[in-house]
Structure 1
Amino acid sequence: MAAAVPVDLVGKMIGPYRVVRRLGSGGMGTVYQAEQTRIGARVALKVLHPHLSQDEGLRARFYAEAKTVNVVGHPNIVRIFDINEAPGSLHYFVMEYLEGEPLSQLPRPLEPGLLTHLLGEACEALEAAHNAGVVHRDLKPDNLFVVRRESSQRPSLKVLDFGVAKARGPLTHPRLTAVGMVLGTPAYMAPEQWTGQPVDGRADIYALGVTAYLMATGRLPYPRGQVAELVLSATAPMPTAPHLLNPRIPLGLSEAILRALARRPAERFAQALQFKQALEAAMRDPTRSRPTPVPGGPLASTPVPSPTVSLRTPQAHLPREEAPTPQSWTAVVRRRSGTGAVEVQCTELSRGGLFMCCSEPFPQLFGRLAFTLRLDGVPVECEAEVVRHVDSAQARTWGMSPGVGLQFINPSAQLREYLRRLCPSRVMPAAPVAMPQDCSLL
């Protein structure tokens, strides 16, 4: 394939359109703001990189994007009005011009209410695409455009760039869907996409889950350099629960994001609208949307957490008498010096981890902590990693006790079974619990 030759089309005419400015560029083409000279209408032009225009398969993929978008035809998907070719082998299509910025440029972490609103609109667009037999395959924050509205209105979202989308039927070109072909952006690709297996709409749900995780916590679920290793490993732990990294994230929202990130497609939401419904339910339930801390790890010189009470609601599908009934959890943390142990009150027990209330100095971040957790009176050995500190100032702001968030490491079968049955709420104590005077784990 020929090497890329930089081309600047600003100020030039492409058909009836005068190119005003460059908006951005990707692997397939460059997007420009342009003006229809006869009526002065603003549009966006996506122009295939000239050095790619000689490849029949790449041209087919470029034009397939425009055809695919028109087949779906949804208000949350960018509209494409025309496809054409200009002298000089300039292949382009004409899109609606949008005022706003990509989701990737919004501040992170994003406020949960706005995040769920935007994710819900993305789900609507994906549901329409999947019903039309189209899988996007490259969903990420750069391809989700937040459209500014009047100050009294919430912004809306448009899904962009169906350049590597896969469609069934006559739109499919043999070179676009070859078996084993891996297309997409690594950090957002589902496990089945990594291995070149056939994908369906659940791969897009996974990518939207990665996007949701990033916008909710400010970081990706897996480190960039270890994405493939962790995503494809059957034994690697799931990402830290978002609510443990950002106390403003409702537990239900955290759980919905983690379900979207399930490694096995069958364990994700089957449809995009189910993901949207779970997001909306998380924001409607006030008992599950209080601030929560993050899971944590080992102690160097660490304070003993003081007790707090965390209430939980039995799962709806279990009879009340069968659901676990404890309303607080106690951990026995052994002092590093071997001079005994300290009882620590825990809150926010979930599949991802728990929160220990303690005063500073905190155990170091990303250190490991071994402790015995009492579950219905049964001692269960646990190991966890410290993933967040909530100091006194933050605790006052959020109306909770200081402490550390812990993420479970390789939980035992006994612990997994208990957590499977447990449906904790986000009810926090009415006031911070007083800290003991001598609270150092030596």
Structure 2
Amino acid sequence: MSASCLEGHRHGPLVFRRWLGAGALGTVYLAEYPPTGHRFAVKVLHPHLAARPDVRQRFYSEALALRELAHPHVARVLDARPGPGGLPCLLMEYADGESFSRLPMPLAPVEAVELLTQALEAVEAAHARGLMHWDLSADNLVLTRDAQGARRVKVLDFGASAILSASLSPEERARGMVVGSPAFIAPEQWSGETVDGRADVYALGVVGYLLLTGRLPFGIGRAGELAPPEPHVLNPCVPPVLSTVLLRALASRPGERFPDARTFREALVHCMDPRTRAAERASALVDDVELLVDIDIVLDEDEAPTHQQPILLLPEMRVPEGNVTIFGQSIPADGATPLHQALRAVAHAEPVLEAPAPRVAAPAGLEVRLRVDGGWVPVAASDVSVDGFFAAWEGTLPPLAARLGVELSYEGRTVTCEGDVVRHVTGDEARTWGVAAGAFIHFAEPEAALRQWVAWMLEESTQAQRPEPRPDGELARLLARAAESAQDPYALLGARPDADFEEIRRRASAALRRLEGFRARALPSSQRRALESLRGRVESARCTLGEPLSRAGFDAVRGNLSGLARCVAAGLPDEEVEPLRHAFLSARPGSEARARALFTQGHALEVQRALRAALSRYADALALDPLNVAWLRHYQELRQRTQGLVPSMPPVLHSSPRADPSPLS
């Protein structure tokens, strides 16, 4: 059965309108209920899987369990029954949005944490019902927008991994086949060990790392016990404490990760909460990060969300020669998604297993001792990180893999732990590099408190070496002006409420160029954070006002009829506006009936040629039901025919107010 043969077919009262994508389990279609235009997603089980009674039974039993999972961040499963040709079909909520793999990366830390915590809320709710995902990836996490225009993450494909796993034969299991997206499955899934909810914690750790750095922590899979680069090393905007949280989620052993999704989520929220700033500094955590304004992301109607297909992996499978495919999955040469770009970057890179020469001096005042043969030996340390350090060593080096006691002292506090010898720098290498001989020591099973303390020590030593710059006067004046328009994106851009979309985009681009000039200046940390927050607000204003659908939702709440008229004139389809209108009216019971009565009065007045009074009634009706596109068109046409007969209304309802200068100009 071809991927597109069901388009136009019926499934009960629904009609399959468009093919959305296909995965290892089935093909997904956009289905519509014609009388109302409501849209759903329908997953049709592949015929070769539907032919197996055990898979069909597992398909329906998983659907029965998932019907009880109702959460704002889960794409709801509504029903499961036979469809066209008798193939089992899963009726689901249609998550109209953009998959995480297609987002521009890296994201700002606050934005990445916001998206990740929403996904964790969904996983937390599922785990509470005993439902595991086990195939979370950047392709089945979708960023949508709710009826009020707020961003909302939706998690797709709960139950798919369980159904695919049930389809494996005993021979396939014996050969080591596993189900999952290679870059996101946990080490215990690769090795065939017992898997629980901590595998989902690991997968979301990979997602968070990707969002913050634009890179995958381990490439396509995972090699041994090597730790990935810390996110704040790859992206200086990431607070070290956030790096610590993500690396704990990525621990190779399940027992070293967060015990559940809730603990992971709380750790993320805590480390980004500005109210914990003083406590974090006292306990070796970094400064807080200011919250940025949400940035709405709009998906083009013709662009269906992509889904990374779960892949059956054999242990003997290797990356093919030539930059063509990854595990049989094609990588486009042009226009690749950020996830595919990250995969391609690591697919053919030779693994770098050796550490470079030690170069970075230890923080001034740090004293390190190692316990060797029952006694404590002071050593000169360098290249200190939350993972370990390099210890200069005279004489015979301790054997590789030896476990030594470690004592670190800094500013009156001493911590003890254990460390493993992971690499030697021999005398020959030391002479070549011009450094001391010694060994790299990695902390053995470090607790979060130790990593946080080391991160704090490194941050404190860096700050002590770098004096804080003086505040920039020009930026201070600009920030003060921008603060006056904090809640109004039109005022922030200096745009009229009826500005066309080209003007909105031009003003936003000019504002961003203006702010970009400050980023290269030496700024105190507080001003730099305020600058990044302001850039986020400008980006949010551009996204909110620069696209018809998002602007329509904003202008409806604001009562800006002239802005709504711009959205309609830009070609915004009625079927896209209707869900927004339904949500707007649902939140305001009785407003639709009152609006209809006012519009009827206006029509009667228009028939009597009392045009000024008619326009006033129409404006009152639209104030209650601003997203009624037919009314809005009629109102605008009548105003154009009766120039000079503008009724008395609030200023925001006038079509051409004077633009104020942007506070960023």
TM range (shorter): 0.5 to 0.7
Are 1:422 and 2:422 counterparts?
no
| 1:217 matches 2:213 | yes
8 Å CA contact retained: 1:21, 1:33:
yes
Aligned Cα root-mean-square deviation (Å): 3.6
Deviation track 1:372-416 (CA, whole Å, cap 9, x = no partner) reads: 53552455344699xxxxxxxxxxxxxxxxxxxxxx985416899
- Larger displacement relative to structure 2 (172-181 or 28-37): 172-181
Q: Which has the higher helix share?
A: 2
Match of 1:203 in 2: 199
Task: Give, in whole Å, the separation in 1 of the partners of 2:93 and 2:167.
Answer: 29
Is contact 2:69–2:76 with CA below 8 Å preserved after alignment? no
1:99 aligned to 2:96?
A: yes
1:412 corresponds in structure 2 to 441
Tell me: CA distance 1:57–1:315, structure 2 relative to 1, closer, same or farther (3 Å): same
What residue in structure 2 maps to residue 27 of structure 1? Answer: 24
TM-score, structure 2 as length reference: 0.44
* Contact persistence 1:108–1:218 (CA under 8 A): yes
> Contact conserved, 1:189 with 1:203, CA < 8 A, in 2?
yes
Is residue 380 of structure 1 aligned with residue 388 of structure 2? no
Question: 8 Å contact 2:132–2:159 — kept in the other structure?
Answer: no
Using the TM superposition, give the Cα deviation of residue 423 of structure 1 relative to its aligned residue in structure 2, in angstroms.
4.5
> Gaps (5+ residues) in structure 2?
286-353, 369-378, 386-420, 424-439, 470-521, 524-665
The question of whether the paired residues in 2 share the 8 Å contact of 1:33 and 1:42 is answered with: yes
Per-residue CA distance 1:143-184 (angstroms, 9 max, x = gap): 11111246x7531111110243459xxxx9697997976221
Q: Is the 8 A contact 1:369 1:384 kept in 2?
A: no
1:106-121 paired onto structure 2 within 5 Å: 106-121=103-118
The residue identity in structure 2 corresponding to 1:430 is E
Distance 1:129 1:258, change over 3 A: same
Structure-2 change in CA distance of 1:315 and 1:373 (3 Å): closer
Q: 1:369 aligns with which of 357, 360, 367?
A: 357
TM superposition score normalised by structure 1: 0.65
List alignment gaps of at least 5 residues for structure 1. Answer: 290-310, 317-365, 386-407, 434-442
Query: How many residues are treated as equivalent by the alignment?
Result: 326
Residue 137 of structure 2 aligns with an amino acid whose one-letter code is K
The offset of 1:422, in angstroms, is 2.8
1 CA distance for matches of 2:140 and 2:47? 22
Identity of aligned residues (%): 40
In the alignment, which residue of structure 1 is the partner of 2:235? 246
Question: Any conservation in 2 of the 1:251–1:282 contact (CA below 8 Å)?
Answer: no
Q: Distance in 1 between matches of 2:7 and 2:190?
A: 37
Paired amino acid for 1:248: C
Pair 1:280-2:276 in alignment: no
Distance 1:376 1:416 in 2: 21
Question: What is the one-letter code of the residue matched to 1:258?
Answer: L
SS of residue in 2 equivalent to 1:31: strand
Distance 1:6 1:25, change over 3 A: closer
Letter of the 2:144 partner, please give it.
V
Q: Any conservation in 2 of the 1:17–1:34 contact (CA below 8 Å)?
A: yes
Q: Which whole-Å CA distance do the structure 2 matches of 1:105 and 1:80 have between them?
A: 24
Q: Does 1:155 align with 2:151?
A: yes
Give matches, 1:33-432, under 5 Å: 33-149=30-146, 153-166=149-162, 182-224=178-220, 227-228=221-222, 230=223, 233-234=224-225, 236=226, 238-285=227-274, 313-314=282-283, 368-371=356-359, 373=362, 376-378=366-368, 379-382=379-382, 411-412=440-441, 421-424=453-456, 426=459, 428=463, 429-431=467-469
The letter of the residue matching 2:454 is L
Note if contact 1:60-1:173 (Cα within 8 Å) is conserved in structure 2.
no
SS at match of 1:412: strand
Pick closer, same or farther for the CA change 1:73–1:181 going to 2, 3 Å: farther
Report the CA distance shift for 1:380/1:134 in structure 2 as closer, same or farther (over 3 A): farther
Deviation at 1:287, TM superposition (A): 8.6
Query: 1:344: which partner in 2?
Result: none
Q: Letter of the 2:468 partner, please give it.
A: A
Q: Quote the offset at 1:243 in angstroms.
A: 1.0
Structure of larger gyration radius: 2
- Cα contact 2:16–2:31 (8 A) shared by 1: yes
Structure with bigger strand share is 1
Return the offset for 1:106. Answer: 1.2
Say if 1:53 and 1:90, in contact at 8 Å, map to a contact too: yes
The residue type paired with residue 357 of structure 2 is L
Give the corresponding residue for 1:348.
Answer: none
1:26 Cα shift? 1.0
* Superimposed CA distance per residue, residues 230-277 of structure 1 (whole angstroms, 9 cap, x where no aligned partner): 1xx24x2x1111111111112222111111001111111111111111
SS of 1:205's equivalent? helix
* CA offsets 1:259-311 (integer angstroms, 9 cap, x no match): 1001111111111111111111121148979xxxxxxxxxxxxxxxxxxxxx9
